[in-house]
Amino acid sequence: MAQLTVPVPGGRLFVVEEGTGPAILLLHAGIVDSRAWEPLAPHLVVAGYRTIRYDARGFGRSETEDVDFSNRADVLAVLDALAVGRACLVGNSRGGQIAVDTAVEHPGRVAALVTIGANIGGLEPEATPAEAALFEEMDRLEADADPETVADLHVRLWVDGIGQPTDRVPSGIRDAVREMDRRVADRGRVHGRPIRLLPPAAERLDALTMPVLALAGAFDVSDVWATAQHLERMCPNARAMLMPDVAHMIALEAPQAVAALIVELLQALGRFG
């Protein structure tokens, strides 16, 4: 395993690389940092893939000034620093949206795309009334509450799943997400100002000609599955899959199953990079 820091305009990205072979770049969700990939990464390494993960600006051990920046450009900066020409992008939630945006803007750098519990820019499926109420509560707490309270709500919604018992997921997963989330919600952290992709990805899905796998959890919010199905309909080489008994953080709950699906997707491509 190698750890390095990649300089980007106005910031520094903490990167972890392990394994050899075709490259898989893992992009984490917005309530965690790159440590959330630790259960998944070893399965990909054993399968013969070079696995790269990094903390986005304002998360984990990465840093940023209060500047405008492009998450897509940061993805390319990491790939360029490691001399990776093409990679499979795997993104969870916020990381999935970044992965889709990058693949739309720079399709030549993306050999395959895997979204996990992700939405896409410019597409807003309608939430259920219960979900809408939860989202309103989350917005209120994120604006006013302390990081501990915010992290508790995030764990209930994104780890446990809507309406699920608090003992459904092992306590180790819940505690790990809560600890990472508290750091993300720290009011002293600088996150910078991400530049949105325009036109948004939803209007440019014809660019996604590479293999696409869109995963959703059966206990996740409904718009995630709606988004996965939309990708399957609109992209020429995409497949949507609803995974049972998991919520939003699928790679934490079922890392071996997620790794098997990624490897299955990539085997047909042979070596790339």
- Summarised one tens digit per residue, pLDDT across range 114-140 is 999 999 999 988 888 888 888 888 788
The rounded distance, in Å, linking the Cα atoms of 22 and 27 is 17
Residue 130, SS3 per DSSP? helix
Of 143, 89, 75, the C-alpha closest to 118 is 89
Residue 192 backbone dihedrals phi, psi, to 5 degrees: 70, -175
The rounded distance, in Å, linking the Cα atoms of 192 and 140 is 21
Please name every residue paired with 216 in a beta bridge, in sequence order, or none if there are none. 242
Q: How confident is the model at residue 239 (pLDDT cuts 50, 70, 90)?
A: very high
Question: 118: Cβ–Cβ under 8 A, 6 or more apart, which residues?
Answer: 91, 92, 93, 94, 95, 96, 97, 99, 100, 214, 224, 227
pLDDT at 102: 98
Q: How confident is the model at residue 143 (pLDDT cuts 50, 70, 90)?
A: confident
b or e along 164-200 (b: 16 or more beta carbons within 10 Å of the residue's beta carbon)?
eeeeebeeebbebbbebbbbbbeeeeeebebeebeeb
The CATH superfamily of 2-125+189-267 is: Alpha/Beta hydrolase fold, catalytic domain (3.40.50.1820)
Task: With beta carbons less than 8 A apart as the criterion, state whether 75 and 89 touch.
Answer: yes
Of 143, 116, 84, the C-alpha closest to 216 is 116
Question: 23: Cβ–Cβ under 8 A, 6 or more apart, which residues?
Answer: 49, 50, 51, 52, 79, 82, 84, 86, 87, 88, 273
Residue 245, SS3 per DSSP? coil
pLDDT tens string 174-212? 999 999 999 988 878 899 999 999 999 999 999 999 999
What region does 262 belong to: left with phi over 0, alpha with psi -120 to 50, or beta? alpha
177-181, 259-263, 267-271: the lowest-pLDDT one: 267-271
Q: How is residue 242 written in tokens?
A: 């609803």
What region does 161 belong to: left with phi over 0, alpha with psi -120 to 50, or beta? left
16's enclosing H/E stretch is: strand 11-18
1-15, 69-83, 135-149: the lowest-pLDDT one: 135-149
User: Mean pLDDT across the chain, nearest whole number?
Assistant: 95
Of 265, 248, 268, the C-alpha closest to 89 is 265
Residue 128, SS3 per DSSP? coil
Q: How confident is the model at residue 83 (pLDDT cuts 50, 70, 90)?
A: very high
Q: Where are the domains of the chain?
A: 2-125+189-267, 129-185
The rounded distance, in Å, linking the Cα atoms of 190 and 159 is 25
- Span 37-47, average pLDDT: 98
Is the pTM value of this prediction over 0.75?
Answer: yes
